[in-house]
Amino acid sequence: MEAFQLLCRGGARFDKQRFKENLALFDSKKTASHRAEKSVSENAELPTELDFFKYAKGGSGKRKAVEIEDEELETEVQRKPELDHDSNDNAPEKKRQRVTTKGSDVPPPIVSFNDLQERFNLPKRLLSNLSSNNYVNPTGIQAHAVPILLEGRDLAAISPTGTGKTLSYLLPVMSSLGVPMSNSKHDGSDGVRAVILAPTRELAHQIHNECLKLAEGRKWRIVLFSKATAATLAVKSVRDKIDIIISTPLRLVASLQDGKLVLNNVRHLVLDEADRLLDSEFISQTEEVIAACTHPELQKCVFSATLPAGAEKIAMSLLMDPIRVVVGLKDTPLPLIVQSLRYVADESSKLPTLLTYLSQPYNPPILVFTSTQPRASSLAEQLILNSVPNVDCLHAGMTKKEREDAVSRMRKGESWVMISTEVMARGMDFKGIRGVINYDFPTSVQSYVHRIGRTGRAGREGLAITYFTNEDASYLKAIANVLSQSGSTVPEWMLKLPKPSKLKRRQMGKVNRGDAVSKAGNIGRSLAIKRKDMVAGSKRRKAKDKDE
Ligand SMILES: Nc1ncnc2c1ncn2[C@@H]1O[C@H](COP(=O)(O)OP(=O)(O)OP(=O)(O)O)[C@@H](O)[C@H]1O
């Protein structure tokens, strides 16, 4: 880490003037590497040398669809293309996204944000803040979720990554709150009126920034809950004037347990990345926050790009007479992301594969996911030692300041290759991310969907490459199904792999890879030996087939 910090802080900045020519290489919309990756995915017939699983033979050519849980659809509405407002960004023509809703008396969707003024008397200021932030037309999830929430209903909303879920809840929450507490006359119902929970500090910060955009021009008190703000909010008179708190569950629970926070006036509770907030790591904290929100008129809503059956069951049990909205297919990325799976044999082949990728023209910035914090630091070190420019790193083991600086460098476009862990997988919105590389295999289908969802956002195209080794092979089918379901072409043999058991699926991506990534220098020999063995094995099999 020391070497990484030293090199990164000192020499990893990119001099755009000096590298003008190199920069021009990245301007072309579709680089050679992009095309190459696509063709790998599309034309991938399993080379005989690599047919360890022996699936190349006998492929039927037919794609198998993933089982979809969404069978009981009550209404189906064809929506306008997702994010078709994005015309000034040369966004390509989007595929129509199917929207399915389930529940009683579902309010009709809006067609434009202006509808909200007629139907719900949306404050003019909110409307003008929308347009000053270039939110011209609602996205699919916004069109459906906003009226549902404005009618005071509980909601479970599932919509692909980068489709504008944040605004889907911020807009109705702020509209329903009406006037800021600081402007309202004391009516005996003081105290925080809305709470938004997110699983990571970075995401809470980002939601806070989005909220401030909508709050412009009015004296809303919107607090990003931290150690410092927790101390200030311990004073009742300060707390009573707060409109919205945005926080991670742990932070809030600490204050609730100390008796320094009261949430009995909360009218709106939002769980963003709900399946994460309801998983085993967070659930007890999330439940504690929910239990503290005791107001009888509490409205609850959950949002995520993924909501596996178990999490959905818990979510539904928390909501009252809820409406469920699903945009597209559950747990499926947008077709805008060109996805491919790349065989890299073993750990030691990963770094050379990545270095080769980065030595050819590619579209920066890209995000590279590793399975652990030490591996993220180690990979960043290796890339810097191999002279890859503008490498950065972000994981939860870094200090708050280091994390904030890394996010800020990413937002400013100073980082070209950001190495990270699951901490960046959910919700983070860096509009310009062109590609995601899963250096270490994702730990679940949900992890895959969220990780690759950092690219292809707000109507833009993206590229996602997932490295897999022999050890990951038994989990390949689950991810291959996701690719297939979202329209990426997958080699047949992958879809024919045996389905991993539930127990096995839980172990996905949890291979013991060691803390340091294998260095590029060591790979030459071992890779050569491996290849030799593979070719020999393949020859043996062929000879055996002939004899029979
Ligand atoms: N109506 C809109 N018009 C234009 N841009 C929009 C609109 N709604 C959202 N966006 C932009 O789309 C991007 C993605 O939005 P957001 O981060 O809310 O997506 P998300 O669905 O929450 O993604 P994730 O599942 O990854 O959290 C943001 O940059 C946001 O500013």
CATH architecture, range 2-66+334-507: 3-Layer(aba) Sandwich (3.40)
The structure tokens 């679940």 sit at: 444
Query: What is the CA(210)–ligand 1 centre distance, in A?
Result: 10
Give the CA distances from residue 269 to residues 3, 145, 174, 273, 291, in Å, rounded to whole numbers and listed in that order: 44, 15, 12, 13, 11
Check if 2-66+334-507 and 70-181+190-327 are the same fold. yes
pLDDT the model gives residue 161? 95
Q: What is the pLDDT of residue 538?
A: 74
Q: Compute, in degrees rounded to 10, the torsion defined by CA atoms 205, 211, 213, 216.
A: -130
**Ligand 1 neighbour 130 (Cβ under 6 A):** no
Q: 99-138: b or e for each residue (b if 16 or more CB lie within 10 Å)?
A: bbbbbeebbebbeebebbeeebebbeebbebbeeeebebb
The answer, yes or no, to whether any atom of ligand 1 lies below 6 A from the CB of 457, is yes
Residues in the chain with pLDDT < 50? 1-95, 522-525
Looking at domain 70-181+190-327, its CATH architecture is 3-Layer(aba) Sandwich (3.40)
Q: What is the pLDDT of residue 546?
A: 67
Checking 68-74 for CB contacts under 8 A at 24+ apart, the result is 68/329, 68/330, 69/309, 69/330, 70/100, 70/326, 70/329, 70/330, 72/102, 73/100, 73/102, 74/100, 74/101, 74/102, 74/103, 74/106
Tell me what pLDDT residue 30 has: 37
Ligand 1 near 166 CB (within 6 A): yes
Write down the ipTM of this complex. Answer: 0.99
Return the ligand 1 atom nearest residue 141 CA. Answer: 21
Q: What are the tokens at 237?
A: 């008179």
Query: Does ligand 1 have an atom closer than 6 angstroms to the CB of 85?
Result: yes
Summarize pLDDT for 397-441 with one digit per residue, the tens: 999 899 999 999 999 999 999 999 999 999 999 878 999 999 999
Atom of ligand 1 nearest to the CA of 139: 1
Each domain of the chain, given as residue ranges in start order, spans 2-66+334-507, 70-181+190-327
| Ligand 1 near 348 CB (within 6 A) | no
Work out which ligand 1 atom sits closest to the CA atom of 458.
Answer: 12
- 164 C-beta closer than 6 A to ligand 1: yes
Ligand 1 atom closest to 159 (CA): 21
Determine if ligand 1 sits within 6 Å of the CB of residue 455.
no
CB of 462 closer than 6 A to ligand 1? no
Task: Tell how far the Cα of 276 is from the centroid of ligand 1, in angstroms.
Answer: 19
Q: Which atom of ligand 1 is nearest to the CA of 135?
A: 3
**Which residue's C-alpha comes closest to atom 13 of ligand 1?**
458
Please work out whether the CB of residue 374 comes within 6 Å of at least one atom of ligand 1. no
Residues of the chain above pLDDT 90, percent: 60
What's the rounded Cα separation, in Å, for the pair 508 and 309?
18
Q: Ligand 1 pocket, 276 CB below 6 A?
A: no
Q: How far is the CA of 135 from the centre of ligand 1 (A)?
A: 10
Map residue 485 onto helix, strand or coil: helix
Kindly report, residue by residue over 87-113, the tens digit of the pLDDT. 333 333 344 578 999 999 999 999 999
pLDDT at 539: 72
Label residue 4 exposed, middle or buried (CB < 10 Å: 0-12, 13-18, 19+): buried
